[in-house]
Structure 1
Amino acid sequence: MTDTQSPGEAPPAGAPSIEGRTVLADQDVSRALRRVAHEILEGNKGADGLVLLGIPTRGVALAHRLAALIKGVEGTDVPTGSLDITMYRDDLRKQPVRAVETTELPEGGIDGKVVILVDDVLFSGRTVRAALDSLADYGRPRIVRLAVLVDRGHRELPIRADYVGKNLPTAKSERVAVRLAEVDGHEEVRIGAPGRP
């Protein structure tokens, strides 16, 4: 789940593609994530106390990739999990959903930890606000940071990412589609107007 809902959310698996241009190909995505992993390690002065929580769907895949990259550098397994924000969204009255709990916290929880929330696209900030509300129900981290693959701007809340793979200026009417191998079978980030598959 991302901040790009209406009109720019990265579509769910199997969703129609968008017309437009590819702004990140598979190697670009890998390079961006390597950079983010190194920045997280620099900011935290190592991997001690880190917990990575992905926001479903693609944020979870990205969190696992970042954990693998961090392990490659530090030799340390970083606890990784997922944080379901469905019931904390502020648009539930308009879009009722059937709740299926997908929060999976790593063993040891989040109390006193440096929690890195991971998502694919940062847009309005409303998904991140929902994630912060959800997180508060599970414990009290020492610090919460945000890592995103793409920051497309157009914030509606005072929220910013601490770690960004790619700043991507967009028009508000444009769509941003993130595709990841684990979810979609291929890798790319595309920007453009809504189109046919």
Structure 2
Amino acid sequence: MSTRIVLHDADIARALTRITHEILESNKGADDLVILGIPTRGVTLADRIAGLVAGVSGVTVPVGALDVTMYRDDLHRHPTRTPQPTSIPAGGIDGKTVVLVDDVLFSGRSIRAALDALGDIGRPAAVRLAILIDRGHRELPIRPDFVGKNLPSSSAERVNVHLTEIDGAEEVTIES
């Protein structure tokens, strides 16, 4: 098995900065914006994007976590992971623009599950999707609004996002 680094720490920082500016431009500012990360690494990325939004706009944007484990339709094919806490900001999501944040977009099943979970929590005005890595191979008609890096890959390859807060390293690797 060979592993190669496709993004280093500076590349990840640049991608998140670009995503942040695109979110603010698309939303015409930070008003009525809520950022929700999908555990595990999506939550860390959401926190970072919220920090960048505050730095650029001067507005503190509500940020939270949306666990989708029990909404997945493929639990029988993948080992069940322990559900993580869902934390929705105090103002809720009704009437807000919700930006879902995840590390890697592959089949689209996690995002479909996230949309189902959002529907049980409230009714946002709009839902946008921010992804650090889009590797293709969609099984559902899901398209990200904000992408850090398109990384075409074989379905046999594995893309790993490592973040300092969780993994002690800051890189994106691909294993073949």
With structure 2 as the length reference, what TM-score do the two structures score?
Answer: 0.96
- In 2, the alpha carbon distance for the partners of 1:104 and 1:182 equals 19
Point out which structure has higher relative CO (alpha carbons under 8 A, 6+ apart). 1
Which consecutive segments of 4 or more residues in structure 1 shift more than 6 A? Answer: none
User: Matches of residues 69-148 of structure 1 in structure 2 within 5 Å?
Assistant: 69-95=52-78, 97=80, 100-148=83-131
Matched residues in 2 for 1:46 and 1:138: separation? Answer: 24
Q: Please provide the CA RMSD for this pair.
A: 1.3
2:22 is the counterpart of 1:23: no
Unaligned runs of 5+ in 2: none
Corresponding residue pairs, total: 176
Matched with 1:49 is 32
Is 1:178 equivalent to 2:170 in the alignment? no
For the residues of structure 1 that align with 2:175 and 2:114, how far apart are their CA atoms? 27
1:42-73 Cα deviation digits (max 9, x unpaired): 00000000000000000000000000001000
Q: Aligned residue for 2:44?
A: 61
**Distance in 1 of aligned mates of 2:137 and 2:78:** 22
Partners of 1:28 and 1:96 lie apart in 2 by 31
- Cα shift at 1:98: 6.9
Distance in 2 between the 1:37 and 1:98 partners?
30
How far 1:97 moved relative to its partner? 3.5
Query: How far did residue 94 of structure 1 move?
Result: 4.0
Matched residue type, 1:44: N
| Matched letter for residue 32 of structure 2 | G
Could you tell me how far apart the structure 2 residues matched to 1:176 and 1:101 are? Answer: 22
- For residues 186 and 71 of structure 1, the distance between their equivalents in structure 2, rounded to whole angstroms, comes to 25
Q: Match of 1:85, as an amino acid?
A: V
Tell me: CA distance 1:136–1:31, structure 2 relative to 1, closer, same or farther (3 Å).
same
Distance 1:154 1:25, change over 3 A: same
Higher helix share: 2
The answer as to whether partners of 2:39 and 2:84 remain within 8 angstroms in 1 is no
Alignment correspondent of 1:153: 136
Residues 87 and 99 in structure 1, CA contact (< 8 A), matched pair in contact too = no
| Unmatched segments (≥5 aa) in structure 1 | 1-17
